[in-house]
Structure formats: structure tokens, C-alpha cells
Amino acid sequence: MRERRSFRTDERGIEGLPIRLVIAIVVGVAALSVMMTIIDDIGAVGEEELSANPNEEVLTGETGYDLKVNVTDEDGQGIPNATVYLKSGTANLDESDTTFDETDYDGTTTSEINISPEDDVDWRPGQESGEIEVHIKPPGDGNYKDDQIDKITLLNPNA
């Protein structure tokens, strides 16, 4: 005759499976999810970070500056057909997101972007300095990205 067991004393996991197998499955799934997260963080293979290198990194005084920006890859090679645009950082540009230019064959902007710390920036009362961000929209014909934000420092001429 068969012996009857109570569910309270049954140490098996899922009906018919030993508890050790259930624990091994749970640990395996957790390890797999951690590995998938690590793989997802790597990003696309072959993507290169672009850098914006302005000819002026600190703008002072009341006069306007004619900015030229050179866009380069990780090896220092110029990137043609990239779009460079300026955004407000801690210094608020009067015309944010409208100041942009495209790079030529050697990675330098085709025309100069004119910025005046006195006329083009909306300074807050008591603000002595601020930063504007230089963003790059990579060309569509390469594996480029712009995750690192480059900045230009402006000093308030009225402070």
C-alpha cells in the first residue's frame, strides 16, 4: 500500500521537481538577466564618438566671436557633413537651437558662428559666467555618435 504524505512535509519544489532544481533555474534566470543587461550597455559595434573642437573655448568681453568648430572622430580625423549646433547650458542663448552650421570635407564648419557674450546671451542677475553646449548631429553615412557634450565658457562682460 502507498503511504500518504502531507503537503506540509513535502520538500519538493514544483510537483515532481526537486527543490534544488528549482533553485538552479531561478539563479540561472537571474544570471542571464544580468548578462543581457551588460550586453545591452555595450552599444552598437563600431560606433565612434565624435568631438567638437571650437577655436575658442572661453569667450570674454563685449565683442562678438566668430566661432569655427572642427568635428573629429576618436582618431582625430575630420568628419564632413556633420551638423554643429549650439544650445543653452548655464548661459541662456537668446536664439537657442537656431545657431548651427554644417562641416565641410575636413570637418570644419563652413561658415563662422558669431556669438557675442553681451548681445546673444540672456544673463541672469548676478551671473558672472555660464556655458553653452556644442552638439553634433552625426552624418548619416557612418557609425558615429555624440554622447559627450562639449562646452564653451562665456564670461559676463557686465559682471
Residue 91's alpha-carbon distances to 29, 55, 107, 129, 154, in angstroms, are: 48, 19, 26, 7, 7
According to the model, what pLDDT value does residue 47 have? Answer: 80
Overall pTM surpassing 0.85 (yes/no): no
pLDDT band at 108, cuts 50/70/90?
confident
According to the model, what pLDDT value does residue 44 have? Answer: 56
Contacts of 5 (CB under 8 A, 6+ apart): none
Rounded CA separation 40/36 (Å) = 6
User: Cβ–Cβ contacts within 10 Å for residue 6, how many?
Assistant: 6
- What tens digit of pLDDT does each residue of 37-84 get? 887 766 556 788 888 888 888 888 777 788 888 999 888 889 898 888
According to the model, what pLDDT value does residue 119 have? Answer: 82
Q: Which of 141, 133, 145, 143 is nearest to 54 (CA)?
A: 133
